[in-house]
Amino acid sequence: MGDRFVVVPVDGGGDAAEHSGSVVAQATRLTGGDGGEEEPKVEEDPVFEPQDPNVAVPILKYNREPNKYGDGVPKENSPFINNTDNDKSNSYDGTNMALFEEEMDSNPMVSSLLDKLANYTNLTQGAQEHEEADDDEGSKKKAVKSPQMGTFMGVYLPCLQNILGVILFLRLTWIVGTAGILESLAIVGLCCSCTMLTAISMSAIATNGVVPAGGSYYMISRSLGPEFGGAVGLCFYLGTTFAGSMYILGTIEILLTYIVPKAAIFVAEKKEDEGEALLNNMRVYGTCCLTLMSVVVFVGVKYVNKLALVFLACVILSILAIYAGVIKTIFEPPDFPVCMLGNRTLQNHNFDKCLKEDTIGNLTTTTQLYKLFCNGPNATCNEYFLNNNVTQIQGIPGLISGVISENMWSEYGPLGMLVENKKLSSVGGSDPTQDIYLPYVVNDIASFFTLLVGIYFPSVTGIMAGSNRSGDLRDAQKSIPVGTILAIFTTSIIYFTCVVLFGACIEGVLLRDKFGDSVKGNLVIGTLSWPSPWVIVIGSFFSCCGAGLQSLTGAPRLLQAIARDGIVPFLQVFGHGKANGEPTWALLLTGAICEIGILIASLDAVAPILSMFFLMCYLFVNLACALQTLLRTPNWRPRFKYYHWALSFLGMSLCLALMFISSWYYAIVAMVIAGCIYKYIEYRGAEKEWGDGIRGLSLNAARFALIRLEEAPPHTKNWRPQCLVLLNLDSDQAVKHPRLLSFTSQLKAGKGLTIVGNVLEGTFLTKDAEAKKAEQNIKSSMTAEKTKGFCHVVVSSNLRDGVSHLIQSAGLGGMKHNTVLMAWPGTWKQSNDTQSWKNFIETIRETTSAHQALLVAKNVDSFPTNQERLGEGTIDVWWVVHDGGLLMLLPFLLRQHKVWRKCKMRIFTVAQMDDNSIQMKKDLQTFLYHLRLNAEVEVVEMHDNDISAFTYEKTLVMEQRSQMLKQMQLSKTEREREAQLIHDRNTASHSMNDKSETLPDRVHMTWTKDKLFTERNRNRECNSNVAMRDLFNMKPNQSNVRRMHTAIKLNEVVVNKSQGAHLVLLNMPGPPKNRGGDENYMEFLEVLLEGLNRVLLVRGGGREVITIYS
């Protein structure tokens, strides 16, 4: 707030008080209108302390000095709600909205929000995207001039200038002559339909919210996501860059062919070398022109923009000259004779008269034409020259001459084919091997329909010019659709009428004469124009120059915008530029790529290349619109209503078809380039969340798949471990056992569902920050261990309930976990807290109750990382009981991963005294054969030996230890209870009065306090001694003895056979039904696993997970 109010004491009585009240009210009215500004806090200001009313009455004084109570920053400085910059020090102090005052920091007043949105301006092209714009400049920021360009100047004319260009002037007549009027109309119709459909899709996207300058790249990237956006943005950049090459080549072609042919550096001595000489001239002059244009763009880009109207005027004047010339042909066709030898067209460069012999007076002499076909007066002449007459036909017979019927059909041909008029008579005798050395007009390239499509398509590009200028438009959402569609409609009419008028006015052989050799090197379209061919020549020259400069101006800014988005890391250097923001490095790269097109040197070869890149850009614009329409995302609300997903889909299909029609190999190359960029951004690029349609498509597909999965449980053939990994974190919220994540990724080989869960003790309101930190650390560990999945951190009042909640609720619909993976509590014996192993056993019980499989990894920190490669070794499976076949499936899945690939699988099963071990082995081998598993099979016999004294002793020690822990726990509980009792009595004694303190104890009226404690200690010692005597006289439970015997004997066998194995998989026995034996259960498992390094205890989920059937 620039104007401040401070409080000053003023002497006076009631009048002063009245004056004070009026000033306060006036100040409140002045400041209360804007909810974003602070009001004077009368009641909270320390100046307003109780004072003697007769001495001084405080009033508000107007002051312009900085306020000591605020920092002068406006309440809302961004139109986005989540902006919190500079808001923390401001507060809302209005009385009308006091109910919402605590939320003002995060939820701004509507008046403030609307004020900011009203003043919002678009950013210039190449600047940062609008949601990340800098607000740090403060008072240094210059006032931005509000955009004032309307539809006509801001969209229509720029699109017109970009669409009409070099192909219209240099190649359209040749396309009409080669393809014929009908097929030319088909080519124009295909290409204009493609751009019109794309413009409809683009209009829908451009009117769906504010589009900062950046044009098509911004629209595609924000609609399809950073991967597609980066790939298509770079394709559009390459297309714009190669367009610059094409315009420069067109400029040089006009210069060297039609304006100053004598400026050529390379001159062909023979006719067959003319094509190569022209290409070399184009390379030299093109490079010089590119260098000059780059310097102009680098030094004075503002002059390029100011000259845009001049270049546009050249284009419009040239087109008007064409129409004027067509009208003139009705009354007075221009005189451009074409010399024909038989039915062949001759190049009219080196002769003046279209005659074999010329009579001057009474003397008959040979002409220059004769000398071209004969070496001398008495020398032999070309046989075809002797057999056929030389005739002249009018190159432009006129609109009403009827030549349109002859130009209806195509005249395709191979390289070097002679341009002939089929109506004229021709006598044979030609030698094709010699014809290439004679002055005939021939095809310089092989022509066919698909080639012409690729050459013509660049003439309809440029429809994005309006959207690129969205930052300069008064109302972009209205101007872009209207201006772009009108420009496409106008240019389509121009192209359609030009095709028909060219075919109706110009002779076919002249149409197929690409460089105007038959009319003394005139531009073919120039011969039709009025008042002079030079109008078209000069106009097209400046038009190509301007278009080339515009491409060299726009392409670097597009690359700079992509680089500043940060989605392609290796391009970030091109985001930098001069102090004024001009993209210097991007201009250098653009010039280098442009030089590649110039070295190709042929306009007909460069045009299909940029066609591919533009078509790919248009394809993805249509895809973006179709996706957004079909997905019906809530934010999809375009103001332009005349769109439909079917039109977008048709436009997309047309773009794809045109790509392969134009050049299938260029199309494949363009797709490979875009695919490589896509995968690179996906792999290395920055993660951006732009609310794109591809993410919406993923959400829809996921929802559909989840609903389908919910319909029925998965079949055994589709069963795969969907893991819930229970992680432990240390006090710093770091992962304790990261190898558990490595093992998860190895077990799943990147497939299936993985949910990594953790439980924090406490309440969510107090542990929110810790939960976020824990989740971030777990995600970092998952990234480091290459574990793909989801993280789920739960805050619960205790660990036990938290794990239970995870097991019950993790996952969604059909994508729920069916397997729980956790680490063995290795320090359960050393820990004083019994809750750890009790939680472990309860987790086992809950997974069994939920019919989920359980995997427990012992010594998990010794498991291999994803970078290790285990050598020759074995994965040993000890199949004691069958609980669904998970034991057989897990080694197979592990061996799919490169860490375990070289390991062999061995299956051991245990035979009792009554079993036939030989038959068991055969049956097991047959079973594995049907399961399609390769494994060695071994049957281990365990005889019913007598229970050893060691087993008795081990069991006794286990039970004694358990009993001692219970006694210790009981003693600890009693001590805590006694301490609490003393504390309560002391607290109560302080609160009683003196009289109550003298009252005797009601329970022990004759005992003192010392006597009470003495008796208690004596009783406790007696009880302790009795308990110790019972402890040493106890006998082991027979059930525990049998279980210990099984654990010891099985451990001996497993250690004997599998001590050197890389991994041992073993059936996990279930916990006892009686919870009193939980600690003994942990002891049994400890004995069972003793002496083994890497062990995975497996407990099935109660269903078959592997089958022999296909």
Q: Mean per-residue pLDDT for 684-713?
A: 71
pLDDT in tens, 95-107: 555 555 555 565 6
Q: What whole-number distance in Å separates Cα of residue 977 and Cα of residue 971?
A: 10
pLDDT at position 783 over 50? yes
**pTM recorded for the entire structure:** 0.69
CA dihedral 345, 351, 354, 358 (to 10 degrees): -150
How sure is the predictor about 350, in pLDDT bands with cuts at 50, 70 and 90?
confident
Vertex 653: Cα angle to 486 and 697 (nearest 5) = 100
Question: Of 684, 658, 644, 622, which Cα lies nearest the Cα of 232?
Answer: 622
pLDDT score recorded for residue 985: 58
Which is higher by pLDDT, 296 or 144? 296
pLDDT at position 86 over 50? no
Instruction: Give, to the nearest 10 degrees, the angle between helix 274-299 and helix 533-565.
Output: 60
Q: Give CA separation, 514 vs 167, 265, 445, in Å.
A: 12, 22, 10
User: DSSP secondary-structure letter at 729?
Assistant: B
Which is higher by pLDDT, 213 or 506? 506
pLDDT in tens, 1061-1107: 999 998 888 888 777 767 778 888 888 888 888 899 998 877 777 77
Q: What whole-number distance in Å separates Cα of residue 1067 and Cα of residue 878?
A: 7
For the ranges 80-84, 565-569, 696-700, the lowest mean pLDDT is seen at: 80-84
Q: What whole-number distance in Å separates Cα of residue 888 and Cα of residue 937?
A: 12
pLDDT at position 66 over 70? no
How sure is the predictor about 213, in pLDDT bands with cuts at 50, 70 and 90?
low
Q: What whole-number distance in Å separates Cα of residue 932 and Cα of residue 93?
A: 76
SS3 category, 96: coil
Question: Of 494, 485, 411, which Cα lies nearest the Cα of 459?
Answer: 494
How sure is the predictor about 370, in pLDDT bands with cuts at 50, 70 and 90?
confident
pLDDT in tens, 447-482: 999 999 999 999 998 888 777 776 677 887 888 899
pLDDT at position 198 over 90? yes
- Candidate ranges 231-235, 407-411, 1041-1045; pick with highest mean pLDDT: 407-411
Task: Give long-range contacts, CB 8 A cutoff, 24+ apart: 1070-1078.
Answer: 1070/844, 1070/848, 1070/1099, 1071/841, 1071/844, 1071/845, 1077/1040, 1078/837, 1078/838, 1078/841
Q: Mean per-residue pLDDT for 244-262?
A: 91
pLDDT at position 539 over 70? yes
Q: What whole-number distance in Å separates Cα of residue 899 and Cα of residue 869?
A: 5
Q: Tell me if 607 sits within 8 A of 245, measured CB to CB.
A: no
Which is higher by pLDDT, 284 or 153? 284
Residues 6+ apart with CB under 8 A from 622: 197, 198, 201, 648, 649, 651, 652, 655
Q: What whole-number distance in Å separates Cα of residue 321 and Cα of residue 325?
A: 6
For the ranges 160-169, 356-365, 911-920, 1017-1026, the lowest mean pLDDT is seen at: 1017-1026
pLDDT in tens, 620-649: 889 888 988 888 878 888 888 899 999 999
How sure is the predictor about 327, in pLDDT bands with cuts at 50, 70 and 90?
very high
Any idea how long the chain is?
1110
Q: What whole-number distance in Å separates Cα of residue 201 and Cα of residue 645?
A: 9
How sure is the predictor about 197, in pLDDT bands with cuts at 50, 70 and 90?
very high
User: DSSP secondary-structure letter at 440?
Assistant: B
Q: What whole-number distance in Å separates Cα of residue 84 and Cα of residue 105?
A: 7
pLDDT score recorded for residue 187: 95
- The pairing of strands 873-879 and 903-911 is parallel
pLDDT score recorded for residue 343: 87
Which is higher by pLDDT, 100 or 580? 580
pLDDT at position 790 over 70? yes
Residues 6+ apart with CB under 8 A from 983: none
pLDDT score recorded for residue 627: 85
pLDDT score recorded for residue 975: 55
Q: Mean per-residue pLDDT for 473-494?
A: 90
pLDDT in tens, 564-577: 888 888 888 888 87
How sure is the predictor about 249, in pLDDT bands with cuts at 50, 70 and 90?
very high
- How many helices (H) and strands (E) the chain has is answered by 35, 17
Q: Tell me if 658 sits within 8 A of 449, measured CB to CB.
A: no
Which is higher by pLDDT, 359 or 745? 745
In sequence order, which ranges of 5-98 are alpha helices (DSSP H)? Answer: 14-32
pLDDT in tens, 384-414: 888 888 898 988 998 888 889 999 999 998 9
Q: What whole-number distance in Å separates Cα of residue 804 and Cα of residue 189?
A: 66
Q: Tell me if 936 sits within 8 A of 904, measured CB to CB.
A: yes
Task: Output Rg (C-alpha) for the chain, integer angstroms.
Answer: 45
How sure is the predictor about 549, in pLDDT bands with cuts at 50, 70 and 90?
confident
How sure is the predictor about 28, in pLDDT bands with cuts at 50, 70 and 90?
very low
Which is higher by pLDDT, 1076 or 617? 617
Sign, CA torsion 631/637/638/640 = positive
> What share of the chain has pLDDT > 90, as a percent?
21
Cα 867 versus chain centre, distance? 28
Question: Of 644, 643, 641, 622, which Cα lies nearest the Cα of 693?
Answer: 622
What pairs with residue 63 in β-bridges? Answer: 4
Q: Mean per-residue pLDDT for 819-833?
A: 82
Question: Of 727, 144, 32, which Cα lies nearest the Cα of 471?
Answer: 144
pLDDT score recorded for residue 75: 37
Q: Mean per-residue pLDDT for 1058-1062?
A: 88
pLDDT score recorded for residue 968: 55
- Candidate ranges 69-78, 90-99, 413-422, 967-976; pick with highest mean pLDDT: 413-422
Which is higher by pLDDT, 820 or 22? 820
How sure is the predictor about 357, in pLDDT bands with cuts at 50, 70 and 90?
confident
Q: What whole-number distance in Å separates Cα of residue 289 and Cα of residue 276?
A: 20
pLDDT score recorded for residue 492: 95
Average pLDDT, the chain: 77
Question: Of 1062, 742, 1036, which Cα lies nearest the Cα of 900?
Answer: 1062
Give the number of C-alpha atoms closer than 13 A to the C-alpha of residue 390, restricted to the C-beta side: 20
pLDDT at position 1006 over 70? no
SS3 category, 538: helix
pLDDT score recorded for residue 887: 85
pLDDT at position 885 over 90? no
Instruction: Give, to the nearest 10 degrees, the angle between helix 584-600 and helix 533-565.
Output: 130
Which is higher by pLDDT, 120 or 230? 230
pLDDT score recorded for residue 125: 37
